[in-house]
Structure formats: C-alpha cells, structure tokens
Amino acid sequence: MRFLGCFAARVFRVVSACCGLAAGAVQAAGDGWTPVIFADVPDNSILRVGDLYYMSSTTMHMSPGVPIMKSRDLVNWDVIGHACGVPMGDGALALQEGRDAYGAGSWASSLRHHGGVFYATTFSRTTGMTHVYRTGDIEKGPWRENRFRPALHDHSLFFDDDGRVYMVYGCGDLRLIELEADVSGVKRGGVDQVIVTNASRVAGPRVGLPAEGSQIWKIRGKYYLFNITWPPGGMRTEILHRADKLTGPYEGRVFLRDSGIAQGGLVDTPGGGWFAYMFQDHGAVGRVPHIIPVEWRDGWPVAGGSGTVAGKLDIPAGGGRISGIVAPDEFDREPGAPPLPPVWQWNHDPDSRHWSVSARPGFLRLTTGRVDAGILSARNSLTQRTFGPECSGSVALELTAMKDGDFAGLGLLQKNFGCLGVRQSGDGRQIVVARAEGVLPGEVVEVPVSCSRVYLKVECDFKDRADLARFYHSMDGECWTQIGKPLSMVYTLPHFMGYRFALFNYATKTAGGFVDFDYFRVGNKLTTANGGDGN
C-alpha cells in the first residue's frame, strides 16, 4: 500500500547513548519534540513480545473498539485489529433511543501477555462494567470477552510472580483489587485496599486532575506505578511510585513535567534499552503519542536522562508517521478479505443491514435506515483519523439513488463538526457545507448539482495548531473549487476525540435511499499550499 512516501521503511534511532539501539543517530528536523504518530492515539498501553511491540488505545464511542496496533520499532505502527469486535450491547453505543455515547464508551485499556494469552482490558461508564478480552493470537484472533462489575476506572491489569492477578485503579486514592485467577471477576475475599493515598501530592500541594491512568509493572524485583495528574495552572504531569511489595508502602516522585506529555508507562527493547510512552494534547488533531528514552538511576527510571524531554528522534518533524494508522481505500475486496480494513471504525455501533461493500463490488454503499436530525445522530458513518501537520481526505460519490431530504458526503466529525455533502431537495441536488460552530448549526448552500457523480475533499491544517479545515468540490476529480468558509476545529471534552474523516449518508424525510462511495483517498499536502489537488 502506497502512502506518504513509504515512510514505514525508516529505521528508528534515538539521540541518547542510553537507548541501546543504533549509534550515530542525528537529531530530528524542526523544532521541539517530534510525536511518533501525529494523530489521535491516546491512553496508550504497550507491551513487547520477542522483537514485536503491540499497543492498544482509547477510541471510546467508535466501533469496533479497543484498537490493536503492531510495530517492530516503536515508531511505525499498523492497526491489525480490534479486541472489542462486537457491540457492548447498550443503546447509547448504537445511537438508539435518542441516546449517544460521545466521550464515553470504552476508556483507557490495559494490554498484557501472560501464559501465552494476550489480554486487553478496558472499562466503560456507559455499561458500568469492566471488560476483559483475551486471545492466543493477537494478530489474527479471535478475541473472547467476559465482563464484570464494577467499572474499574483507568485500571492496569497485573499478573504477579505468584500467579495472583490484580488491577490497580482509581482517581486520587489508588486502589489494588484482586481478581480471580482466570480474570473472570473480582475475587471474593481477595485483596481490596488503597495502596497510595492522594497520589497527586508528589506533584505539588494543589491538584486539578487527581492522579489517574494507572499503569504498573514489576521490574528487577520492584513495583513501579505510573499515573498522570494535572496541577491547576500547570501542565499535565507524569508521576511515579515504587515499592518493594505490591501492597506498599510506596514512595513517589515526578517522572516527567515537560511539554504536557504524560499518561503512559515503560517498555523495553530486545537490546536492553528502555523508553517511556505517553501522549500530548495537540489541539483539534487530538492526543498524539510520544516515546522518550529512559535511563535507570538508583533504581528509578529517569525520562530523557534528566527528567525532561531531552532527546530527539531521528524522524523528520511533521513526517508521515501514520502510514499504518490511516489508509486510503478503493473498496475493492479480494475473495475472503474482510469487508473493511481495521483502520476504519464506525461512529457508534453500526446497523449492518444498511451498509455493504458487496452490493456493488468496488464501492461502499451506505443506505439510510431511518430519519435523523444530523450527522451526530446518524448511524453508519464510517470514520478514520485525521492527521498532522496537514492532511486531506477525498471521495468520489454516486448519487442516483438518493431520496428527497437525504444528505451524503464527507465530514469532519467532532462536536463542532463540518460536513461537505450533497443534499437532495425534491428533484434537485445542491452541494452543501453544514457546520456546528458556536451554539446553532448552520448550512451554506453553494452549488447546484446536475450530474450523478461528484468529488468532495476536506483539508485539515494542524500546523502550528492552526486547526483550520477547508472544503472543496469537483466535477471531474482534477480541478477543485473551494466552497464555504474555513471551519475552526476545536477539540471538545464532550466528544473527547480528535477530528475524524467521516463518510456519511442520512435521511431527513424518508429512509431507504442510498449512495455509493467509489473511493476514499488521503494526502499530506494542502491545495492552498501547492496549487494541486493535495492527493
């Protein structure tokens, strides 16, 4: 698969003698620390098995959930599947009953490997439960699920050397709870206690966000517990506690307070090097992952060798480090291939009756199954991440089976959304930009459409946190015309997710119409910057 200059061939190197990887590396181009993935991949949990790394992340209301990624170098990652491949069984997670799960769904996961079994565990405030997924083959599955109450907030699954199983969880006061040996639920009469009281205090006397995001390991006979906190008026801060016994007592310190990079833990390399992995809030594109070289001193891991982000990765600043995280799709499927590659996720659980890549081979068909008020309530919107520093997404859309009141096209999904599409009005059609900036959504109707096929493109400028999107249409896929004013993209807490490209079709009057998407293509250049089509 071609994408952004085949960056996946780049070798990963770090400027730090402590890393135990390649020597003689050069600093990254550009200023400041370079994110490993310039896209929304928050709440990372990483493990190494042999010479391979695996990572899970939070995607909340997206379906399938709990994405699993694979890497050989901690830099170039591919989405290989999802642990939560089936709906969690709640109406809000399916945009039913007038409910939604924006900003909810499944939260921070924990990825572990024990006894030849991979475990991906998460919790959901929507279901009120802790969910455990397991498989013997993390790359091919299948995953089996069990769930139990309560929902253990930001937990970290931990298998101790004596065979006992625990989760560390909580917010502020951090708790240890023992599970059944088969991770089927809380162990009756097992350990259940606070192990660190007011964990945030090591970052200072005042607390905005109490310590959460637990990740725990046993390394060289000691227990290391990582958490994030956020002092008011300060920045996201990563703190670390260690103990000789799992139940404590624990001593703590600040692990990293630099550039707002926090929440994560440690991973080692086959050569004996160590890295911290965390994320940084990066405006509308979302929360972007970083890795930081680690040294060990007096039994403590030290970020960057000095407790700060001091090293640089040998990666071009703003390079295309998302080739396996975002991908184009021509919707051609070989026999036996899955209907959708794992880079795709639906906005909430889909209705499988109303989408298909087989009804018309080479096309994605989205059929309206009900009447909806707008993009945020519409089912079967198919999404991928946007990415920085600049990106574009484009589609070719065939319109002959639309019904009066249907609206279909390519959107940028967030609470402050922007949607570029075709609106069917009686026997006529218009290209429309619908947006939800401010309090009330608005529309700009610009171009009447007489043909049955149109080309739509949206572009995102995240460079220097500009966070602007522009919309373009074309009748031939070559010459593009901007439509409407730019969208000011804003990362909002109600959705808690970076902007996503969304292929959508919804009815406002009568269900049953459909549209066919011929392709979805991505690029890393802007039309306004190069005078071309950005693809």
Which domain covers residue 509, as residue numbers? Answer: 345-530
The model carries a pTM of 0.92
Cβ within 8 Å of residue 17, ≥6 positions away? none
Q: Residue 177's pLDDT is what?
A: 98
pLDDT confidence bin for 8, thresholds 50/70/90: very low
pLDDT confidence bin for 362, thresholds 50/70/90: very high
CB 253 within 8 A of CB 239: yes
* Domain membership flag for residue 112: no
CB 276 within 8 A of CB 255: yes
Q: Residue 24's pLDDT is what?
A: 22
* Domain membership flag for residue 375: yes
* Domain membership flag for residue 478: yes
Q: Residue 207's pLDDT is what?
A: 85
CB 45 within 8 A of CB 109: yes
pLDDT confidence bin for 13, thresholds 50/70/90: very low
- State the DSSP code for 17: G
* Domain membership flag for residue 75: no
Residue with tokens 């966000």: 209
CB 488 within 8 A of CB 468: yes
* Domain membership flag for residue 198: no
pLDDT confidence bin for 321, thresholds 50/70/90: low
Concatenated DSSP letters of 435-473? E--SSS-EEEEEEEE-SSEEEEEEEEE-GGG--EEEEEE
Q: Is 277 helix (H, G, I), strand (E, B) or coil?
A: strand
Mean pLDDT of the 262-288 span: 96
* Domain membership flag for residue 517: yes
Mean pLDDT of the 294-312 span: 86
What is the enclosing helix (H) or strand (E) of 385?
strand 382-385
Longest CA pairwise span in the chain (Å): 75
Q: How confident is the model over 16-67, as pLDDT tens digits? A: 323 333 222 222 333 345 688 999 999 999 999 999 999 999 999 999 999 9
State how many domains the chain has. Answer: 1
Write down the mean pLDDT value for the chain.
89
Higher pLDDT: 434 or 11? It is: 434
Q: Residue 530's pLDDT is what?
A: 38
Q: Is 301 helix (H, G, I), strand (E, B) or coil?
A: strand
CA separation for the pair 46, 132 (Å, rounded)? 17
Lowest mean pLDDT among 83-92, 335-344, 514-523, 524-533: 524-533
Q: Residue 127's pLDDT is what?
A: 94
Q: Tell me the residue ranges of DSSP E strands in 298-354.
A: 300-303, 345-347
* Domain membership flag for residue 514: yes
Q: Residue 306's pLDDT is what?
A: 84
Count of alpha carbons within 13 angstroms of residue 201, beta-carbon side: 8
* Domain membership flag for residue 86: no
Residue with tokens 């009748």: 475
CB 293 within 8 A of CB 304: yes
What's the CATH number where 467 sits?
Answer: 2.60.120.200
